């Protein structure tokens, strides 16, 4: 068997209760792999305020266990990206820390990787114990996202996937600060394959995505990947201009024939209010794009690392 390394990237924010179970399960599966002779687990502590970091450090006697610890919370996407940037594997896989994506998926992932696919993704056939709101938002978001971005991103997925080395290289070429890891992975258009699974309920702890964070996440990702909302503004404004022209013509015809012209303030107020609110809405959309440009031109680093463990580097402890 060729010597091959698998990198297992796991972002973590306040996951103290899940670490031991996760480590045991991932290690058990990793030692069963057929096409990889070695593995590394890259746990990213995304500025947790609980005992995530100290629990991770307790496992660092195992040299497979590598830790990247941020100075503060930079967000799930930044944590995943940091793991991908530090991975040395011939293939790289991403898992959440809460065991919602069962580590056994790795065995199917490696089979499809061996069959030559570059992106092998876990596709949810069922989601246990997730709120109706979460299921609904994901049902609505993904078709809209695909339509607006023209990106061939599969439905019913999360970040759990396995990437070939060239899929990782394609990901790394994207320089944006504002990251949507999932979108950036499928952007490459490399051959992909689904592995269906039932998404489990969280092993312990709470989801880090509340309603407002989910909505902001959805909006942010659409703005990062598509300019179609701007075309939509132009399209709507053409429509309102046309409606105005028709209105003027109708009013003129009525006036010339001596018919009664629409009277009263109510219709005037309603049309003014409609135009005012749509203008504000469109200004908001343009503002979101300007905000994104502002974020990108600043060129700030996406995260700051406080500690590296088992990487054999200077900042290693
Ligand atoms: N996560 C993170 N940083 C954050 C929020 C979440 O690293 O700011 C991690 C979290 O610990 C988990 C993964 O991202 O491993 C997915 O988060 P979560 O389970 O809360 O999301 P959900 O599965 O509910 O969508
Ligand atoms: Mg989860």
User: What integer best gives the mean pLDDT of the chain?
Assistant: 92
Neighbours of 116 (CB within 10 A): 9
Q: What are the backbone dihedrals phi and psi of residue 111, each rounded to the nearest 5 degrees, phi first? A: -65, -45
The band of 315, judged by pLDDT with boundaries at 50, 70 and 90, is low
Nearest CA to ligand 1 atom 22: 207
Kindly state if the Cβ of 75 falls inside 6 Å of ligand 1: yes
Position with higher pLDDT, 76 vs 212: 76
- Does ligand 1 lie within 6 Å of residue 94's CB atom? no
Q: Collect all residues with Cβ–Cβ distance below 8 Å to 125 and sequence separation of at least 6.
A: 156, 196, 197, 198
Does domain 5-206+300-309 fall into CATH 3.90.550.10? yes
User: What angle do the packed helices 132-149 and 211-225 form, to 10 degrees?
Assistant: 10
Instruction: Please give the model's pTM, rounded to 2 decimal places.
Output: 0.89
Ligand 1 pocket, 209 CB below 6 A? yes
| Nearest protein Cα to ligand 1, atom 14 | 76
> Which residue's alpha carbon is nearest to atom 17 within ligand 1?
208
**Is the pLDDT confidence value at 182 over 80?**
yes
Q: Label residue 317 by pLDDT band (50, 70, 90).
A: very low
Instruction: Give CA–CA dist 156/195, Å, rounded.
Output: 11
Q: What is the mean pLDDT of residues 75-84?
A: 97
Kindly state if the Cβ of 207 falls inside 6 Å of ligand 1.
Answer: yes
Cα gap 211→106, rounded to integer Å: 30
pLDDT digits (tens, 9 = 90+) for 40-70: 999 999 999 999 999 999 999 999 999 999 9
Angstrom distances, CA of residue 167 to CA of 9, 141, 157, 162, 302: 15, 24, 17, 9, 20
Contacts by residues 207-212 (CB-CB < 8 Å, ≥ 24 positions apart): 207/134, 208/13, 208/14, 208/76, 209/134, 211/133
Confidence of residue 130 (pLDDT cuts 50, 70, 90): confident
Residue 219 CB partners (closer than 8 Å, separation 6+) = 288
Report how far ligand 2's centroid is from the alpha carbon of 96 (Å): 6
pLDDT in tens, 144-160: 999 999 999 999 999 99
Question: Which pLDDT score, from 0 to 100, does residue 1 have?
Answer: 60
Q: What is the pLDDT of residue 139?
A: 84
CA of 70 to the centre of ligand 1 (A): 15
Residue 187 Cα to ligand 1 middle (Å)? 22
Examine the pLDDT at 131 and tell me if it is beyond 90. no
Strand partners, 43: 10, 67
**pLDDT digit string, tens, across residues 265-290:** 787 888 888 889 999 999 999 999 99
Chain segment 103-117, per-residue pLDDT in tens: 999 999 999 999 999
More confident residue, 243 or 60: 60
| Closest listed ligand to the CA of 16 | 1
| C-beta 11 within 6 A of ligand 1 | yes
Distance 32 CA to ligand 2 centre (A): 25
Give 127's pLDDT tier (boundaries 50, 70, 90).
confident
Q: Structure tokens of 94?
A: 């991403």
**Which is it for the CA torsion 181, 308, 52, 119, positive or negative?**
positive
């Amino acid at each position: 068997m060729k010597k091959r390394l698998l990198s297992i990237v796991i972002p973590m924010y306040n996951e103290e209760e899940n670490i031991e179970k996760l480590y045991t399960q991932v290690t058990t599966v990793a030692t069963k792999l057929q096409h990889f002779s070695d593995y590394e687990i890259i746990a990213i502590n995304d500025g947790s305020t609980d005992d995530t970091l100290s629990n991770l450090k307790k496992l660092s006697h195992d040299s497979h266990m590598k830790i990247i610890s941020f100075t503060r919370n930079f967000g799930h996407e930044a944590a995943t990206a940091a793991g991908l940037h530090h991975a040395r594997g011939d293939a790289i896989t991403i898992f959440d820390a809460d065991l919602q994506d069962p580590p056994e998926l790795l065995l199917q992932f490696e089979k499809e990787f061996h069959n030559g696919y570059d992106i092998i993704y876990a596709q949810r056939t069922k989601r246990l114990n997730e709120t109706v709101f979460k299921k609904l938002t994901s049902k609505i978001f993904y078709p809209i996202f695909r339509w607006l971005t023209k990106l061939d991103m599969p439905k019913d997925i999360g970040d759990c996937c396995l990437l070939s080395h060239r899929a990782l290289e394609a990901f790394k070429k994207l320089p944006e600060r504002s990251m949507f890891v999932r979108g950036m992975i499928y952007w490459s258009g490399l051959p992909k394959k689904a592995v269906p699974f039932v998404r489990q309920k969280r092993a312990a702890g709470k989801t880090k995505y509340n309603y407002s964070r989910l909505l902001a996440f959805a909006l942010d990702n659409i703005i990062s990947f598509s300019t179609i909302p701007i075309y939509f503004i132009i399209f709507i404004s053409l429509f309102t201009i046309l409606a105005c022209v028709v209105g003027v013509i109708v009013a003129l015809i009525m006036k010339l024939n001596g018919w009664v012209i629409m009277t009263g303030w109510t219709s005037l107020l309603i049309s003014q209010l409609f135009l005012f609110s749509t203008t504000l809405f469109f200004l908001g959309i343009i503002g979101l794009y300007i905000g994104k440009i502002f974020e990108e031109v600043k060129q700030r680093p996406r995260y700051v690392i406080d500690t590296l463990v088992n990487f054999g580097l200077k900042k290693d402890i």
